[in-house]
Structure 1
Amino acid sequence: MARPDRLLRLLQALRMLPAPVTAARLAQETGVSVRSIYRDIDSLRAAGAEIGGERGFGYCLVEDGTLPPQMFSRIEVEALALGLAEVRHIGDPALAAAAASVLAKVSATLPQVRQQQVLNAVSQVYRGEQAFAALPDMQVIREACWREEALKISYTDSQGQQTEREIWPLAIVYLDRSLMLLSWCCLRQAFRMFRADRVSATTATGASFRPQRVGLLRTYIAEMQAAKRD
């Protein structure tokens, strides 16, 4: 494999694989030796790619400024337009505005032929109604997830009983017709999926759970995988 092609393949592996990704895993993905991976990482860094990590730990792509617009294929343009159109229909005003902004920014960087393909994408989304109701507390919830900080919430369960909870919000999950908040419930000391439309009030506490977040997500994923096998 020619070296430029190998470097592009290495960049794509860094984009796609869960970080941090080890040199051994990168070597397997690109079909070269671990020693070559170390040299290629140094070359990419010298060319301007911001790659975090080090030998013996793993690597991650911190900021990818090496992807030229013309590398988007026609089908990738279709996927981009379709995905962002879907986001605009989910009912979250902030995300809808962000999706429109992203599409405009990306389109502006594309060659003219690709800009036309964005405007005339054959993959379209048409919905008679929004997938989810607009919820006033979504921005507070989203920011708590970003900052990895605990929330106090008022929650009404399926029996109509209201409780006050302190939770560690881990992820916002979009199901077919329900918007869920995957959390660690401090009251129950267990994972819980809270329906976002049943959260009547949220208060940011400022208390960080950052050291526990990655471990909790790994545990949750392991529990889900074990449940599928049973």
Structure 2
Amino acid sequence: MTRTERLFKLMQALRIVPPPATAQALADRLDVTARTIYRDIDALRGLGAVIDGAAGFGYRLIEDAALPPLNFDEDELEALVLGLREVEEVGDSTLAEAAQSALAKLRARLPQTQAHRLDHAVLSAHRFTPLPQSGVDTARLRRATWEEKTIRFDYSDAEGRETTREVNPLSVVLMQSSLCLLAFCHLRNDFRAFRLDRMRGLDLTGASFRPRRATLLRDCLAAMTCDTGQERAPQAT
């Protein structure tokens, strides 16, 4: 890790770790020594960051010089908190950490009065019944979807029948009580929804379906709407 990368990560840690953040807590997060944290805090202050505190007492980021302030109205703040908290609850560990980081960046860009409202928002999200554990690496699945790469995996349907599927992944959505992959299935030659907890052994085939994902996803979503206008999920077989 370069020094620039470390300073950037230290700024992120100062946004995330509850203040006052001790040098040791910051060091543990960055996997460096406390002495390195002391030097890097001085470097950040020299670059313009306003960081309150001292060795032995902990640190608090007062002003983030790298980001200009933003202003949101009360409802916008509530919507942002609710959305990011929901991601923390239903997303995989990578997305949950990203949501936490995004919330910290948002807090750093708000005026002090709005930052207080952000910390004490009325709306939040808590899931008391956890989602079923995904059977595949969801971060890898998202990356393959974004890069429009055809994937292969083993799938077990509701009756326990096992098949190997090759699909064009289109989107990962929360359907009722589980995360599902919307995809065009080569085996069925149709759109299908696959529960992530029933998928195993995710592999890339080497084939690409770029630039068709946006079109296929639009067609898939259209297929989810019946003649009555009621939405239905593509069949998960």
The separation in 1 between residues aligned to 2:201 and 2:179, in whole angstroms, is: 16
**Alpha-carbon deviation of 1:137?**
1.8
The separation in 2 between residues aligned to 1:150 and 1:225, in whole angstroms, is: 25
What is aligned with 2:147?
147
List gaps (5 residues or longer) in structure 1: 1-66
1:205 aligns with 2:186: no
What is aligned with 1:121?
121
Comparing 164-173 with 204-213, greater Cα deviation is found at 204-213
The separation in 2 between residues aligned to 1:197 and 1:119, in whole angstroms, is: 33
Matches within 5 A, 1:35-74: 69-70=70-71, 72-74=72-74
Give the total of aligned pairs. Answer: 163
The separation in 1 between residues aligned to 2:135 and 2:69, in whole angstroms, is: 37
The separation in 1 between residues aligned to 2:70 and 2:172, in whole angstroms, is: 30
**Alpha-carbon deviation of 1:138?**
0.9
**Alpha-carbon deviation of 1:134?**
5.0
The separation in 2 between residues aligned to 1:127 and 1:187, in whole angstroms, is: 35
Which amino acid is 1:130 matched to? P
Query: What are the superposed Cα offsets for residues 85-126 of structure 1, whole Å, 9 maximum, x if unpaired?
Result: 111111511111111000001110111111111111121333
Which amino acid is 1:78 matched to? E
- Identify if the C-alpha distance between structure 1 residues 160 and 79 changes in structure 2 by more than 3 Å, giving closer, same or farther: same
What is aligned with 2:215?
215
What is aligned with 2:182?
182
Q: CA RMSD in A?
A: 2.0
Give the secondary structure class of the aligned counterpart of 1:69: coil
The separation in 2 between residues aligned to 1:179 and 1:229, in whole angstroms, is: 23
Give the secondary structure class of the aligned counterpart of 1:225: coil
What is aligned with 1:133?
133
Query: What are the superposed Cα offsets for residues 34-86 of structure 1, whole Å, 9 maximum, x if unpaired?
Result: xxxxxxxxxxxxxxxxxxxxxxxxxxxxxxxxx9612x111111111111111
What is aligned with 1:9?
none
The separation in 1 between residues aligned to 2:179 and 2:69, in whole angstroms, is: 35
The separation in 2 between residues aligned to 1:191 and 1:134, in whole angstroms, is: 20
**Alpha-carbon deviation of 1:217?**
2.0
**Alpha-carbon deviation of 1:153?**
0.7
CA contact (8 A) 1:91 1:131 kept: no
**Alpha-carbon deviation of 1:215?**
2.3
The separation in 1 between residues aligned to 2:229 and 2:122, in whole angstroms, is: 39
The separation in 2 between residues aligned to 1:194 and 1:212, in whole angstroms, is: 20
- Identify if the C-alpha distance between structure 1 residues 91 and 217 changes in structure 2 by more than 3 Å, giving closer, same or farther: closer
The separation in 2 between residues aligned to 1:96 and 1:165, in whole angstroms, is: 28
**Alpha-carbon deviation of 1:218?**
2.5
CA contact (8 A) 1:88 1:95 kept: yes
CA contact (8 A) 2:166 2:186 kept: yes
**Alpha-carbon deviation of 1:157?**
1.2
- Identify if the C-alpha distance between structure 1 residues 85 and 150 changes in structure 2 by more than 3 Å, giving closer, same or farther: same
What is aligned with 1:77?
77
Give the secondary structure class of the aligned counterpart of 2:222: helix
**Alpha-carbon deviation of 1:141?**
0.9
